[in-house]
Chain A
């Protein structure tokens, strides 16, 4: 707030500097006007400050209300809530492990698929793509990032899941790996990860393209001058230079994937079971909330759901904060 004082002092000083040139106004009138301006400026600062504070208040409010509403569940189960592997509204037993496992595994699958593909898209857009196609293709990817997640979920359930069930799952099951056991249902944890990856690819790809574009052309040109191939330039110049920004972009994508509700709820199968197979139906934190909240019993079920929400919020905020910190460092390094 010290800065506030100096700015309004500035505002007061500035019009005062005009005094000498104004001949039609008396000293008193000028002083009055300067005072009025200073008052208005202070008011303006106060108003904009208050509105900026709304954002902070909202975040604090979210945290406080989640903790308050989740409190009965924590009091009942204690730390056991975090390690409980049963989620059974009928018996009033609630443990977070199933949902947390679903959230983490779907997001992990999503990143596993999305990171290499996004990287490929970003390399294509910045290095090999003909100049005239760069803009339209980049725009197409950005448009894909703007499509609401319910569309991805809907499409995943009605279009992707049947195709996946028919053609891909039998092949993977035939490999005999324990990860791909069980009947080909079409929906399940793996499908949820697949739809999530489709959703975060455009997002990560746009961030990567943006950081790749911060590489000074001189660096790349010198590498080409030494006889490097395009791929070597990408590996040895572009990637090391943008490493921090790329990791930040990936973590931003992870933040999106962790908290995504609709794209997951449609296809994850919504079963409160822990299964070793990725083809089995499961549940994520967000999908559990979406499915159960509106009909939950207010005594213990609702607090347990709030506790899950709090868990999700904390996880995503940590990931996003790390991502923010990394991207800030990345752009600072690029600006150097």
Chain B
């Protein structure tokens, strides 16, 4: 009799545990669809041609768009990507090719991992101290610098991880032909994993395009259209933040549009890199 009850209890615990785990999965999925649904529902209506062609409106004026913020975000992200890609790739090469045994290598790897999850607002503080306080004005360059500081660790880590997947025999074959080490690194191993490195760069873009905190007091915001990076610059995340917190309904509608736009960009990049990477693995 006790045997039966013990068996029953074990079966019950099992069923309960697995049911709860399925429930948490369901909760996660509900969260995902709920967020996406409200974003698209509220955001897509705001994404008309005006959204891309007009600048942010003054308080209380209807209409307007986010052209200045979109251009500002694109410029800052583009420069940040241009700066962080070579730094990240070269540092990644160092870690993969030379840094696997040295103490400096493991220290760098450790610090990169810390920087990967360090609070982005602190990076904003740092850039404020070195680039805004010294020049006495906010600028697009400062924002771009903050974003590149966030992007570099992402590129470093993916580049290193990808390079480590390259079979040693490929390296040895190149060395046997008498190629110098730099040539092996750049035209053999790096080339073998260029898809993976590109993935890293794209993931870095996806990471920084929605970053708000480091831009709050570096790029600040600008009500007007400007492509001059030495001035305060409008950018999507900060405009979304300011407009969402405002009492004006027109502004809030624009903020929903901006949020939907950013979410779509980030999700597209994430899905695209997955497809890209899967094809690479298959071939």
Q: List the interface of chain A (C-beta within 8 A of B).
A: 1, 3-4, 7, 11, 14-15, 18, 37-38, 40-41, 43-45, 47-49, 51-56, 58-59, 61-62, 65-66, 68-69, 116-121, 123-125, 127-129, 137, 139-144, 146-152, 154-155, 157-159, 198, 201-202, 205, 229-232, 234, 252, 255-256, 258-262, 265-266, 286, 289-290, 293-294, 305-306, 309, 312-313, 316-317, 320-321, 324
Please tell me if the beta carbons of B28 and A205 are within 8 angstroms of each other in the complex. Answer: yes
Please tell me if the beta carbons of A15 and B241 are within 8 angstroms of each other in the complex. Answer: no
Provided the pairs A45-B98, A56-B107, A313-B118 are in contact, do residues A147 and B10 lie with their beta carbons within 8 angstroms?
Answer: no
- Residue interface mask B221-235, A partner, CB < 8 A = 1: 000000000000000
Min CB gap A302→B, angstroms = 9
Give the 4 A-B residue pairs with the shortest CB-CB distance, closest first.
Answer: A148-B210, A259-B119, A120-B24, A44-B182
Contacts of B255 in A (CB 8 A): 154
CB closest chain-B residue, reference A60: B111
Min CB gap A323→B, angstroms = 8
Please tell me if the beta carbons of B244 and A51 are within 8 angstroms of each other in the complex. Answer: no
Please tell me if the beta carbons of B125 and A120 are within 8 angstroms of each other in the complex. Answer: no
Please tell me if the beta carbons of B21 and A140 are within 8 angstroms of each other in the complex. Answer: no
Is B178 located at the chain interface by the 8 A CB criterion? Answer: yes
In the bound complex, CA of A144 to CA of B149 (Å): 23
CB closest chain-A residue, reference B20: A120
26 contacts between A and B (CB under 8 A): A15-B178, A18-B178, A48-B97, A49-B104, A55-B112, A56-B108, A61-B126, A62-B123, A62-B126, A65-B125, A69-B129, A69-B133, A117-B27, A127-B21, A148-B210, A148-B237, A150-B212, A150-B240, A150-B262, A151-B210, A151-B263, A155-B259, A229-B14, A262-B241, A320-B117, A324-B110
Among B94, B124, B259, the residue within 8 A (CB) of A49 is B94
Interface centre among B31, B97, B117 (most CB of A within 10 A): B117
In the bound complex, CA of A232 to CA of B206 (Å): 40
Please tell me if the beta carbons of A148 and B263 are within 8 angstroms of each other in the complex. Answer: yes
- Counting residue pairs across A and B whose Cβ atoms lie within 8 Å, the total is 280
Contacts of B114 in A (CB 8 A): 59, 317, 320-321, 324
Min CB gap A37→B, angstroms = 4
Is B34 located at the chain interface by the 8 A CB criterion? Answer: yes
Min CB gap A18→B, angstroms = 5
In the bound complex, CA of A53 to CA of B237 (Å): 31
Please tell me if the beta carbons of A289 and B210 are within 8 angstroms of each other in the complex. Answer: no
Please tell me if the beta carbons of A55 and B117 are within 8 angstroms of each other in the complex. Answer: no
Min CB gap A160→B, angstroms = 9
In the bound complex, CA of A234 to CA of B21 (Å): 11
Contacts of A144 in B (CB 8 A): 28, 31-32, 35
Among A48, A157, A205, A289, the residue within 8 A (CB) of B244 is A157
Contacts of B267 in A (CB 8 A): 143, 146-147
In the bound complex, CA of A11 to CA of B259 (Å): 52
In the bound complex, CA of A279 to CA of B209 (Å): 32
Please tell me if the beta carbons of A289 and B94 are within 8 angstroms of each other in the complex. Answer: no
Contacts of A201 in B (CB 8 A): 28, 31
Please tell me if the beta carbons of A262 and B212 are within 8 angstroms of each other in the complex. Answer: yes
CB closest chain-A residue, reference B102: A3
Contacts of B25 in A (CB 8 A): 120-121, 124-125, 129, 137
Please tell me if the beta carbons of B119 and A312 are within 8 angstroms of each other in the complex. Answer: yes
Is B71 located at the chain interface by the 8 A CB criterion? Answer: no
In the bound complex, CA of A15 to CA of B86 (Å): 29
Contacts of A69 in B (CB 8 A): 125, 129, 133
Among B29, B91, B124, B216, the residue within 8 A (CB) of A48 is B91
CB closest chain-B residue, reference A125: B25
In the bound complex, CA of A125 to CA of B29 (Å): 13
Contacts of A140 in B (CB 8 A): 28-29, 32
Is B11 located at the chain interface by the 8 A CB criterion? Answer: yes
Is B270 located at the chain interface by the 8 A CB criterion? Answer: yes
